[in-house]
Structure 1
Amino acid sequence: MNSSNQNYIDFAQYNIWANNRIIEKLSSLADEQLNQTIEASFPSIMKTVAHLWSAEMGWLNRMQSNGWNTDVIKNFSGSTQDMFIGWQQTSQSFKEFVIKNDLEQLLQFDHKGKHYEIPFREIAQTVFTHGNYHRGQLVMMLRQLGITDIPQTDYIEWVRQQAHD
């Protein structure tokens, strides 16, 4: 395995770690807090979580030649914990995809009348940075709710923890 692939595997592992840390915090909150309307890109914490899960699942399905399939999330009727578990499972599946596939392979798809050809590595990078962006929004949403005991999810914190494990 070349070092570039290892970097993407590391980022996939970091993504899981950061998601798990924020999920652990969110799991301690009442559903009313998680669904409270808040000023942000999405109107609640749970809508933001659904968006994050949808992006990971959509890109993973597209790279697996299943199209942009996020019906599981669109039609979701489970509990909050079930949603967190689904998101965690998708993040794990995404990491497994990164491990097993040639990241130089081109993903080809049409969207809104345009044709795209994007290497899997760029899709992976997009998914991971997108997760960082929205986890940051989740932190700000938690602060709007008056919650200040929020875990670190920064990449450098993950690196430091890996050095001590």
Structure 2
Amino acid sequence: MTHPTLEMYNYHVWANGVIIDRLSELPQEIYHKDIQSGFSSVSKVLSHIYLTDYSWFEIISGKGMNEAMASADELREHVETKSIEEMKKLFIEISEQYKAFLNDQEDIEKLIVVDNPYAGLLETSISETILHIVTHGSYHRGNIATMLRHMGHTSVMQDFGLYLYAK
């Protein structure tokens, strides 16, 4: 049986794919269109999800949070200008890195210490970090769904229950 955290990560990968596929079906200009929302465009939300996944991968791989955030900041402008097709490739690549890392882990409950420059030290596990990544992605895919509605388009269901049926 798959560890529940790994199953949740698989859901995250699936849900990212579902929303990316939906965005690929819509008129191209929707992806980078400026709108009034928490983020100024769908592309910036999707980039944020990716860059957060990227940062946390660096952290669970042993880098400090400051270093991981600096790496993500260096990528930000480059990632935000990518097309939806290019983003799909980036998400596939990062998910393959996560899956290889997680499959090599002898102990997914291994403790790590995160030194967050805004919140201080946190002792957490790889497992909890993965759950954070999943819930963070879910929250922001919800932002994308709302943004699409505001632009007159429908989103797509991406609930965990639907994932269970789909797999």
Unmatched segments (≥5 aa) in structure 1: none
Q: Distance in 2 between matches of 1:26 and 1:54?
A: 18
* Equivalence for 1:81: 85
Instruction: Report SS of the residue matched to 1:92.
Output: helix
* Equivalence for 1:42: 39
Contact 2:19 2:158 in 1 (8 A): yes
Q: Counterparts in 2 of 1:54-69, with a 5 A limit?
A: 54-67=51-64, 68=68, 69=71
Compared with structure 1, are the counterparts of its residues 96 and 117 closer, same or farther at alpha carbon in structure 2 (3 Å cutoff)? same
Q: Quick check: 1:118 aligned with 2:115?
A: no
* Equivalence for 2:136: 130
* Equivalence for 1:98: 102
How many pairs were matched up?
A: 158
Contact 1:56 1:94 in 2 (8 A): no
Q: Counterparts in 2 of 1:143-162, with a 5 A limit?
A: 143-148=149-154, 150-162=155-167
Instruction: Report SS of the residue matched to 1:81.
Output: helix
* Equivalence for 1:13: 10
Q: Which moved more, 1:79-88 or 1:9-18?
A: 79-88
Q: Distance in 2 between matches of 1:111 and 1:74?
A: 23
Superposition misfits of 4+ residues, deviation over 4 angstroms: none
User: Please, what is the CA RMSD of the aligned residues?
Assistant: 2.0
- Shift of residue 128, structure 1, vs aligned partner: 0.4
Q: Distance in 2 between matches of 1:92 and 1:145?
A: 33
Q: Distance in 2 between matches of 1:142 and 1:45?
A: 8
- Shift of residue 74, structure 1, vs aligned partner: 4.1
Quick one: which amino acid aligns to residue 116 of structure 2? H
Compared with structure 1, are the counterparts of its residues 78 and 142 closer, same or farther at alpha carbon in structure 2 (3 Å cutoff)? closer
Quick one: which amino acid aligns to residue 89 of structure 1? E
- Shift of residue 87, structure 1, vs aligned partner: 1.9
Over the matched positions of the two proteins, sequence identity in percent amounts to 26
- Shift of residue 96, structure 1, vs aligned partner: 2.9
Q: Distance in 2 between matches of 1:78 and 1:132?
A: 21
Unmatched segments (≥5 aa) in structure 2: none
Q: When the two structures are superposed, what TM-score results if normalisation uses the length of structure 2?
A: 0.84
Q: When the two structures are superposed, what TM-score results if normalisation uses the length of structure 1?
A: 0.85
Q: Distance in 1 between matches of 2:5 and 2:102?
A: 7
